[in-house]
Chains A and B, each alone.
Chain A
Amino acid sequence: MNSDRNDEQLEQVRGEIRAAAATLRDRPRLAPSAPAPAAGADGIEAARRSYRIAELTDPPYHAFVEHAFRALLKRAPTPVEASAQLDLLGRGASKTEVLGNLRWSAEGRRVGVGVAGLLPRYLLAKLGRVPLLGYLVEGAVAFAALPLLARQLRAADAAISAGDSALGAGQKALAARADVLNQRIDDLRGLAHELGLARDELIRTLNMIDEGLRARASATEVALDDLARRQHDLEGVRRDELEFVRRRVYVMDRWFEALRGALDEVELAAGRRDARVREFEARTRDAITAADGGASAARLDRWLDALQPACAAGARVVTIGDDDWNERLAARGAIATSFAGTRAGDGPGLRDALAHVEDSCLGALVAPAFPALLRAIPADEFVDAATRVLQPGGLLLLGFAHEPVLAAALAGDIVPAVQPGVLATTLSVAGYSTRRIDAADGTPALLAWRESH
């Protein structure tokens, strides 16, 4: 709605402009003129050199003097100069006389601004200053201008009346404004009083907060002191406990040192004993073998004959516990090895040796004195290890030679009493087929093999 009204107004303006444009050419042609000179920031148009007298006389009182100086002398008046010109006006001088004084002063002549119609009026004003003649001239001028003066007097009277009326209205407005201001001052006083009360209340509150904070600060200081004391005590206790623990550790360290020494002695004694036992066993075994009149050699040959299929050239055979056996195997072309330094009773050594043999790599595994071997490894564990290292179709020869068993028994070792029949049953449970081979001296052995699947 508002937009429509605006558009209507704009359309109306357009119509008026069209009408003005239609009559534009009918207006009198203006005389060519230079572009309007620019006024400086102080309102002085320095480049302007001509004025109409009305331009200079129109402004009232102060503005007249200011404007006259700026137009005719191209500068602002000093306070003294402005005051002198206002005094002149106050003594009844005309504005044209003031303008003439400025224009034809030495400075005014040097600036040389032109004011159309000023010169005759100024001369007439100056003529009025000549004694007697001036009086006559002014009288004549005043007489000639009596109708005009009367009109101006009436206009002045009307203006003064209007001014009085406006002044009265202004005074009333000022009084009303003063009432409002007084009311506002009262309001402000009331507000200031309330603000003062609020300020006092705020100060009281702040003081209470301050006291509370101080009390809390004191309590906090006390708590901190107490905390510091407790910390000090705790540090003392901790130091004592630390010293106690340090002493305990020292004692335990000494105790462990003594224990280590005792264990070393035990280990050394055990080593000596083992060495003695091994030496005794070896000597005993050798003595028994030497005394058997070649029976053991014949026994080994008998077992070797049984093992012959597994002793082809290049076959790998591992023997546990009898170097003589290896020599005989090698003579038949087999690659015969034994676990070097492995005594039948050395359990961990035998286990490690078996664990290091590759899977399915042996043509045969031989233990000529199987009962003595049981001191080192249980039968089922040995059979499992043998199953792992034997090739498919590999042979297991487990003899019951009595010399190592006898030697071990003489050395004080307890050798389990195992019968061939019991061992055959054990091997059968593990999937082996067995055949008993009795040597010439009656010493039995079991030849075992797994049926290939």
Chain B
Amino acid sequence: MDALASLAEASGRLRTQAADDALLRRWQTRATVWAASCDAAGSPVLLDAFHACLSHCDAAARLLVLDPGAEAAVAAASSRGIDAHVECVGDAADARKAALLAADALVVCGGGAAFVLDALAVGTPVTGVECAATMDAAGDAALLWRAGDPAAELIAATVERLRADAPLRARLRARGHARISRIAAPSESPA
């Protein structure tokens, strides 16, 4: 079993993992909720995109950063004056599941594949900027944009569309579940 299959199996277990109820109640509001994962290079893109969302889509939106040790992103958010909207989720599985359940989408700007697989397993749509690890994990189950695109506006608009378009969410959710099944059991997938 390769590394991606192991990650997919772990993400499959997240499907049966109970979410942290208190956090879920706190994050499930009428406002837009982003779950996000980024590396150092993707952090400015993510914050630009979220800032665009706050400015033009939903001023009460909330950004839940999944990466453990995402204090740098929070500090960058502070310098932009949007730190009140940004929150670190921490590395507990029940908190991560609560964030993914509450979120309208998982926004990925670099970083590993684990959160992408978690989101696919839970049924949260995935968007963000293309990179090798993300594309390997998500396949055709995510709405990813090339790095050369005006990513900030595209990502903000994508989350807004995902929030409003239930059939699109359902299509992506179905693709995500199929993707997880294919990765976790590669021998059963068609050639």
A positions within 8 Å CB-CB of B: 6-7, 9-10, 13-14, 16-18, 20-22, 24-25, 27-41
Contacts and interface: CB of A to CB of B under 8 A. Distances in A.
A34 B59 CA distance: 8
Contacts of B153: 21-22, 24-25
Contacts of A16: 161
Given A30-B54, A36-B29, A36-B31, A24 B84 contact: no
A157 B36 CA distance: 50
A61 B90 CA distance: 43
Interface in B16-42: 21, 25-31
Given A21-B150, A36-B29, A39-B25, A13 B55 contact: no
Given A38-B26, A38-B27, A18 B154 contact: yes
A21 B28 contact: no
B43 interface: no
Interface string B65-86: 0000000000000000100110
Contacts of A39: 25, 28-29
B161 A37 contact: no
B52 interface: yes
23 contacts: A9-B171, A10-B140, A10-B143, A13-B165, A14-B143, A16-B161, A17-B157, A17-B161, A18-B157, A20-B160, A21-B158, A24-B57, A24-B153, A25-B56, A28-B56, A30-B55, A30-B59, A33-B59, A34-B84, A35-B62, A36-B29, A36-B60, A40-B25
Contact of B29 (A27, A28, A37): A37
A16 B85 CA distance: 28
B61 interface: yes
B31 A21 contact: no
B168 interface: yes
Interface residues on B, range: 35 or more
A6 B59 contact: no
B30 A36 contact: yes
Nearest to B62: A35
Contacts of B150: 21
A28 B156 CA distance: 15
A33 B143 CA distance: 28
Contacts of B160: 20
A24 B154 CA distance: 9
Contacts of A34: 60, 84
Nearest to A33: B59
A275 to B, nearest CB: 101
Contacts of B140: 7, 10
Given A33-B59, A36-B62, A20 B161 contact: yes
Contacts of B27: 38
Nearest to A38: B26
A340 to B, nearest CB: 94
Nearest to B52: A24
Contacts of A41: 21, 25
Contacts of B85: 35
B157 to A, nearest CB: 4
Contacts of B161: 13, 16-17, 20
A35 B84 contact: yes
Contacts of A30: 54-59
Contact of B156 (A9, A24, A36): A24
A20 B62 CA distance: 21
Contacts of A38: 25-29
B55 A29 contact: yes
B31 A35 contact: yes
A14 to B, nearest CB: 7
B47 to A, nearest CB: 15
B52 A35 contact: no
B101 to A, nearest CB: 14
Contact of B154 (A9, A21, A33, A37): A21
Nearest to B150: A21
Given A36-B29, A36-B60, A24 B171 contact: no
A13 B162 CA distance: 10
A21 B84 CA distance: 25
B59 A32 contact: yes
Contacts of A25: 52, 56, 153
B143 A21 contact: no
A22 B157 CA distance: 9
9 nearest CB pairs, A to B: A36-B31, A36-B29, A33-B59, A21-B157, A21-B153, A36-B60, A30-B59, A20-B157, A38-B26
Contacts of A18: 154, 157
Contacts of A9: 171
Nearest to B151: A21
Interface string B107-138: 00000000000000000000000000000000
Contact of A17 (B25, B29, B61, B154): B154
A17 B84 contact: no
Contacts of B60: 33-36
Contacts of B58: 30
B166 to A, nearest CB: 13
A41 B22 CA distance: 9
